[in-house]
Amino acid sequence: MLAAEVEALLKATGKGKAGIRDRALIMVLWRSQLCISEALALRPSDIGEDRITVRHGKGDKARVVAMSAQAKAAIDLWVTERAKLEPKRGTPLFCLFTKGKEGQKIDDSAIRKAFKRWGAKAGIEKRVHPHGLRHTGASMLVERGADLNSISAQLGHSRLATTERYLHEINPDERVRKLNALL
């Protein structure tokens, strides 16, 4: 996805509590490059000022990832709204608040369906899915000059070769454009 498409996706989430929560989730997936399962497992205590602690990442390994000021602002807005729900201790950061399901973990299949709905509403014609935001965020890190080791750590990859392959596959149009400019 392109950054403009992510912005359109953010606008498509709607208003109210659900929109605030969903925009915060999108920001975490995009700007901190988390997998959907990692994001849905977060607790409020996992959020720092400029970082997120992923307690159960790939291979059940913990890691600390960078978090943009934009993502932090979106999370703070959701945490303020979430507090009004008076969630029980241990409630996931991104929780349900519908009657009878308050505080329950959101099922990732519901998020995948929501992404399809938001993508259609945003007018995005290609497949829209949570993992695509991870790709977009990783591509953004490359474009901004982040080194391979940092990107690998952010993504939770245990081998640089995995990150190299991952980055090679996620944005072929950008790679071709840059190479054509050099030819």
pLDDT digits (tens, 9 = 90+) for 117-142: 999 999 999 999 999 898 889 888 88
- Name residues of the chain where pLDDT drops below 70: 171-172, 174-175, 179
User: 31: closest CA among 67, 61, 82, 58?
Assistant: 67
| Domains annotated on the chain, with CATH | 3-130 (1.10.443.10)
Q: Rounded to the nearest 5°, which phi and psi values hold at 127? A: -60, 130
User: 23: closest CA among 105, 122, 160, 154?
Assistant: 122
* Cα–Cα dist 133/111, whole Å: 13
Q: What is residue 175's predicted lDDT score, i.e. its pLDDT?
A: 66
Q: What is residue 167's predicted lDDT score, i.e. its pLDDT?
A: 79
| Partners of 47 in the β-ladder | 52
Q: What is residue 142's predicted lDDT score, i.e. its pLDDT?
A: 85
Token pair of 161 as six digits: 């070769």
- Whole-angstrom CA distances from 31 to 49, 82, 88, 134 are 14, 21, 28, 8
* Cα–Cα dist 125/119, whole Å: 7
Q: Is 57 helix (H, G, I), strand (E, B) or coil?
A: coil
Q: What is residue 174's predicted lDDT score, i.e. its pLDDT?
A: 67
Find out whether 137 and 166 touch, Cβ atoms under 8 Å: no
Strands (E), the chain: 51-54, 63-66
Neighbouring C-beta atoms of residue 114, cutoff 10 Å? 20
